[in-house]
Amino acid sequence: MADKSRTPMRRKEKKEKKEKETTERSKDVKDVKKEAEQGAPAVEKGAEEGAPNGAAATDQNGEFQVEPMELPPFEIIQGDRIDPFAFKFQFKNVEYSSGRNKTYLCYLVDCGTSDDGLLRGYLEDEHSGSHAEEAFFPQCLPHYDPALKYTVTWYVSSSPCSACATKIAEVLKARTNVKLSIFSARLFEWEEPEIQDGLKALHAAGCKLRVMKPLDFSYAWETFVENEDQPLNLWEDCKENYEYYHDKLADIIQ
C-alpha cells in the first residue's frame, strides 16, 4: 500500500497547482486583451458581425470580446518515433497531470511470423474524438488474421478511460488469439468508480496491466523516441511515483 502520510501533502500540492493554473489562465486573457487594445485597428459599428472565428472585436460599449473559435477536426497521429520533449512531458508519472490532455500509445506487435517481423510505432490522439487506444486495432491491425497469434505490448502515457477499457476488453474477448499487455506511466482518474470498473474488465479479459517502472521509461526512450543516442535522465521522484501508482493498481485489480 502507498504511504498514507503522503495524502495531506498531495492535497496541498493539488490546491497550489490549481491556483497556479488559474493565475496563468488569467494572465493569458489579460495579455490577449492588451495586445488587442494596442495593436488592433479600430472596428466600426457592426463590423464585428463579420469577424472570422477567433477574431478579436469590440462591442458598442468598447468592451473587448473574443469571437468563438471553431476547433479543427480531431485526428489520430501515427508515427515511428516521438519527439523527446513530448515524451518527457507526456510520460512523466506525476499524480496531477495538468496540461497532459492527450494520450501517447507506443506499441510493439509480434504476429508470430518471421516474414512480418516486429511491428513498432506510436499513436497520438488530439484532445478528443477517437482515442489512441480505440484507434489501435483498426489503424494498426487492419488485416487481422484469426489464424495468427498476436502478442501486443503498449506503453501508454496514461491508462485507458472507462469507455476505451470497455471496448478493449470486448476486442480481447472476441479475439482470443490476441494477448495484450499495457504498461501505463500514470493511472488516469483512478479514484473514479467507472475507471476502476474499466480496469477490472480489462484484467478479467486477460489483459496484463502494469505500471511503468524506471527501467520501462528507459526502454521506451530507447525504442520509441528520437533520442539522438542521448540517455534518458529520469526525474527525481520517478521511482516513488511508480510505487504509488503500482500500489493503487494492485488495490483495484486484486
Helix and strand numbers (H, E) in the chain are: 7, 8
Q: Do 146 and 111 touch, CB atoms closer than 8 A?
A: no
Would the CA dihedral through 84, 90, 95, 99 be positive or negative?
positive
The dihedral formed by the CA atoms of 165, 168, 170 and 174, expressed in degrees to the nearest 10: -160
A 10 A CB-CB count for 213 gives 17
Q: Do 206 and 235 touch, CB atoms closer than 8 A?
A: no
**Strand 118-125 versus strand 76-79 pairing type:** antiparallel
Cell 493554473: give the residue: 21
Catalytic site residues? Answer: 133
Angle at 117 between CA 115 and CA 118, to 5 degrees: 160
Size of the chain, expressed as the number of residues it contains: 254
Closest by Cα among 84, 222, 199 to 133? 199
